[in-house]
């Protein structure tokens, strides 16, 4: 691992520090809601209105000279990125790709939100490295489930490569709007996105980094 | 009216909004995010929704008024309105937007204009209802009471 302390989320024992979430959504209403949801779970939130602003915030702004666009920003610690899919200009998918292309930030879990439960879209995002996919409108139970990605999420996955992930959320899966409970073609019973073939493949390749 | 009566009135009114389909579960979600430290959360989010909606309805009027209607643009506006109405639980507005988007696909100007009227109507209705609800809340708080928690099992 060539990442140093700039990238959080892979360090252990960070429970005492706040989880810092970067939320990206062009809708002011949705930004307000997601911010509140995350703050209730004691996360620190930075909310921006576009993919470009998110990249700027991360220091991945390509308008800067190359040596300044490698994403090194003094003191920046982002544990989780949650982004809307449909945004004018840069979509959440485009942003996801940029983040996964960055050696500094590719380890940060990225979650995609969308009002449309379109299976090919979801698959494409997961294949590109998205950690999870939330169908809007976003509820507290959705965000509760995510919080665990921000702190020690990857460590959990390494420990449990082939078993069902324990239920991280305190609320029953039936009122979650995750893709697994709302999508007709995937078994409605318990959780894990970890169980999908795509996820298992991702984890296998990830542990060989 | 004493505080107890006002609270019962608030409960009855809120229930009716759910029964009549103006609001759905997402509105309850938002109410549950409100607490003593954020007592105005729902009012704030709904105000943002009002501002957003009014802007989008104007944009829709404008877009449908053009000689050559850009249906992609119309659809984008409706998509946004659908999103924000869904996020606050304004169910009937959301449903009107869903119907609207189908006609955008068909590229039918007449039908879109009718849909826009429908969306406007639903928006006005829910705006009035919510403003009434917020007034009731203000009265309760002014009389020293607190807003009841809506239960999910009604």
Suggest the residue from A31, A118, A137 to mutate for an interface test with chain B (most B CBs closer than 10 A): A137
Suggest the residue from B51, B78, B83, B126 to mutate for an interface test with chain A (most A CBs closer than 10 A): B83
Please check whether residue B49 touches A, CB under 8 A: yes
- Average pLDDT score over residue span A167-171: 41
Q: Give A13-32 pLDDT, tens digit per residue.
A: 444 478 999 999 999 999 99
The better pLDDT of the pair A65, A174 is held by: A65
Give domain status of residue A66, yes or no.
Answer: yes
Domain count, chain A: 1
Residue A108 near residue A7, CB atoms below 8 Å: yes
Angle at Cα B133 formed by Cα A137 and Cα B2, nearest 5°? 140
Measured CA distances, B135 to A139, B10, B142 (Å):
26, 10, 10
Choose among A37, A115, A136: nearest Cβ to B33. A37
Query: Interface pTM (ipTM) of the complex?
Result: 0.94
Which strands make up the sheet holding A80-84, listed edge to edge? A44-48, A20-24, A80-84, A110-114, A132-135
Count of other CB atoms within 10 angstroms of residue B37: 7
Q: Give A125 to chain B, closest Cα distance, Å.
A: 20
CATH of the domain at A106: 3.40.50.2300
pLDDT on residue A170: 41
Give domain status of residue A88, yes or no.
Answer: yes
Give domain status of residue A188, yes or no.
Answer: no
Measured CA distances, A13 to A8, A77, A83, A167, B117 (Å):
11, 15, 26, 21, 56
- Average pLDDT score over residue span A162-191: 41
Suggest the residue from B25, B27, B29, B42 to mutate for an interface test with chain A (most A CBs closer than 10 A): B29
Is A62's pLDDT higher than 70?
no
| SS3 track for chain A | CCCCCCCCCCCCCCCCCCCEEEEECCCHHHHHHHHHHHHHCCCEEEEECCHHHHHHHHCCCCCCCHHHCCCCCCCCCCCEEEEECCCCCCCHHHHHHHHHHCCCCCCCCEEEEECCCCHHHHHHHHHCCCCEEEECCCCHHHHHHHHHHHCCHHHHHHHCCCCCCCCCCCCCHHHCCEHHHHCCCCCCCCCCHHHCHHHHHHHHHHCCC
Is A165's pLDDT higher than 60?
no
The label of the residue with tokens 């008024």 reads: B65
Please check whether residue B41 touches A, CB under 8 A: yes
Q: Give A74-106 pLDDT, tens digit per residue.
A: 778 999 999 999 999 999 999 999 999 999 999
Give domain status of residue A34, yes or no.
Answer: yes
The encoded tokens of residue A173 equal 């899966």
Q: Give every residue of chain B whose pLDDT is below 50, as ranges.
A: 154
The better pLDDT of the pair A198, B67 is held by: B67
Please answer yes or no on whether A28 and B44 come within 8 Å at the CB atom: no
pLDDT on residue A4: 44
Is A197's pLDDT higher than 50?
no
Please check whether residue B91 touches A, CB under 8 A: no
pLDDT on residue B36: 86
The helix/strand/coil state of B150 is coil
Domains of chain B, CATH where assigned: 1-141 (1.20.120.160)
Percentages (nearest 5) of helix, strand, coil residues in chain B: 75, 5, 20
Give domain status of residue A142, yes or no.
Answer: yes
pLDDT on residue A18: 85
The encoded tokens of residue A35 equal 């911010």
Please answer yes or no on whether A137 and B33 come within 8 Å at the CB atom: no
Please tell me the distance from the alpha carbon of residue B26 to that of residue B17, in angstroms, as a whole number. 13
Residue A124 lies in domain = 18-149
Give domain status of residue A186, yes or no.
Answer: no
Please answer yes or no on whether A140 and B33 come within 8 Å at the CB atom: yes
Q: Which helix (H) or strand (E) holds B40?
A: none
Give domain status of residue A80, yes or no.
Answer: yes
- Average pLDDT score over residue span A160-182: 40
Give domain status of residue A122, yes or no.
Answer: yes
Mean pLDDT for all residues in chain A? 73
pTM, rounded to two decimals:
0.78
| SS3 track for B84-119 | HHHHHCEHHHHHHHHHHHHHHHHCCHHHHHHHHHHH
């Amino acid at each position: 691992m060539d990442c140093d302390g700039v990238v959080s989320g892979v360090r252990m024992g960070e429970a005492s520090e706040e989880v810092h979430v970067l939320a990206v959504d062009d809708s002011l209403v949705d930004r307000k809601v997601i911010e509140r949801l995350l703050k209730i779970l004691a996360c620190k939130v930075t909310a921006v209105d576009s993919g470009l602003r998110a990249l700027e915030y991360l220091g991945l702004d390509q308008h800067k000279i190359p040596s300044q666009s490698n994403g090194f920003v003094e003191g920046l610690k982002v544990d989780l990125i949650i982004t809307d899919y449909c945004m004018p200009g840069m979509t959440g998918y485009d942003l996801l790709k940029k983040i996964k292309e960055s050696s500094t930030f590719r380890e940060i879990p990225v979650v995609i939100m969308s009002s449309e439960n379109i299976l090919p879209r979801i698959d494409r995002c997961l294949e590109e490295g998205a950690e999870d996919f939330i169908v809007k409108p976003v509820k507290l139970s959705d965000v509760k489930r995510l919080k665990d990605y921000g702190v020690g999420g990857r460590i959990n996955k390494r420990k449990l490569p082939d078993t069902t992930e324990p239920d991280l959320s305190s609320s029953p899966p039936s009122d979650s709007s995750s893709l697994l409970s709302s999508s007709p073609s995937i078994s409605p019973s318990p959780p894990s996105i970890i169980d999908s073939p795509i996820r298992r493949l991702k984890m296998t390749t990830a542990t060989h980094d | 009216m004493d505080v107890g009566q006002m609270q019962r009135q608030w409960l009855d009114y809120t229930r009716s909004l759910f029964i009549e389909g103006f609001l759905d579960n997402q509105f309850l979600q938002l109410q549950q995010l409100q607490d003593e430290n954020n007592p105005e959360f729902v009012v704030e989010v709904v105000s943002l929704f009002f501002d957003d909606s009014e802007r989008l309805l104007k944009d829709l009027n404008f877009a449908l008024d053009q000689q050559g209607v850009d249906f992609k643009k119309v659809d984008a506006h409706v998509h946004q309105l659908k999103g924000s109405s869904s996020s606050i639980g304004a169910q009937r507005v959301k449903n009107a937007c869903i119907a609207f988007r189908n006609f955008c696909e068909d590229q039918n100007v007449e039908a879109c204009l009718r849909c826009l009227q429908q969306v406007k109507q639903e928006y006005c209705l829910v705006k009035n209802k919510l403003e009434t609800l917020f007034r009731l809340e203000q009265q309760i708080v002014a009389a020293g009471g607190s807003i009841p928690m809506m239960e999910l099992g009604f």
